[in-house]
A and B are shown apart, each in its own frame.
Chain A
């Protein structure tokens, strides 16, 4: 597959700011016809360059005041049961992100909770009950910022 060109990148820059923009509006801003812009957007979606959409929410206003990133190391004896761990951890509703990583930890999790007491409940009842969990490190998120990336 050919990598996206400069025009695709210009389209992506706009869509990563506001995915609701119409092909006509994007075309106007980058100097391309509506049909040509539409075709490029369709191709970016088909080829998976645009993987989906996300919506920015004010978690605090929705009652989720705490976000914690956990680094989890599986217990040495549990290495063979990583699949069980993965199945169980991805099913926890408070866990938004699960990444398999190499380094100090085996997995990174992003966990949302209503407050610190709620986080403690999730940690004790859900996370620590997962099969094969060894060490856990927690860092409370203070701020986050997504950057446009090399577009």
Chain B
């Protein structure tokens, strides 16, 4: 499992996955070769996966982001599967999460502007199957968003 050196390395790596191996190693107090070997081991073990670019959708012309929280009809056995399959067909859905709690599923939906959002909502969201209730949270600002863990 993880030792203290792994934890130190991971803390630095998660803080900035794009940093060069040499900078990462220095911050973790390791040689570049050791840091690289340990990261490779964690990758091989499936603890860390691939790096992925994060897109700023506003810069792609999508000004609106809404978090839609759904309650589904749980008396229908396949409600979750059918809802999720249909939601994946909507290109403007950028994240799908399922929950245990008052909310069953959350979708992150982006739109170019409010008119576009209104169209999407009417034609692609309200038509998703097995919805009992929807709540919308309109994103105003993201104050913090990272994948760091208090290791």
Interface residues of A, Cβ cutoff 8 Å to B: 1, 3-4, 12, 15-20, 47-59, 61-64, 69, 71, 86, 89-90, 93-105, 108, 112, 137-147, 149-151
Contacts and interface: CB of A to CB of B under 8 A. Distances in A.
Nearest to A149: B94
B147 A54 contact: yes
Given A64-B149, A93-B150, A103-B135, A58 B48 contact: yes
Interface of B: 2, 10, 13-14, 17-18, 45-57, 59-62, 67, 88, 91-103, 106, 110, 135-151
A96 B147 contact: yes
Given A100-B140, A103-B136, A142 B98 contact: yes
Contact of A146 (B94, B136, B151): B94
A1 B53 CA distance: 21
B17 A103 contact: no
B35 to A, nearest CB: 14
Contact of B50 (A56, A61, A64, A149): A56
Contacts of B146: 96-97
Q: Which of A55, A139, A141 has the most CB of B within 10 A?
A: A55
* 3 nearest CB pairs, A to B: A139-B101, A56-B49, A15-B53
A27 to B, nearest CB: 16
Contact of B48 (A20, A57, A93, A150): A57
Contact of B110 (A20, A101, A138, A150): A150
Contact of B53 (A16, A137, A145): A16
B91 A149 contact: yes
Contact of B139 (A55, A101, A139): A101
Contact of A141 (B53, B97, B145): B97
A4 B50 contact: no
B90 to A, nearest CB: 9
A146 B45 CA distance: 22
Nearest to A50: B53
Contacts of A112: 149-150
Contacts of B61: 3
A53 B96 contact: no
Contact of A96 (B56, B110, B145): B145
Nearest to A146: B95
A31 to B, nearest CB: 20
B55 A62 contact: no
Contacts of A17: 50, 52
Contact of B47 (A15, A58, A97, A150): A58
Contacts of A1: 59
A104 B137 contact: yes
Contact of B137 (A49, A52, A59, A105): A105
B59 A55 contact: no
Nearest to B53: A15
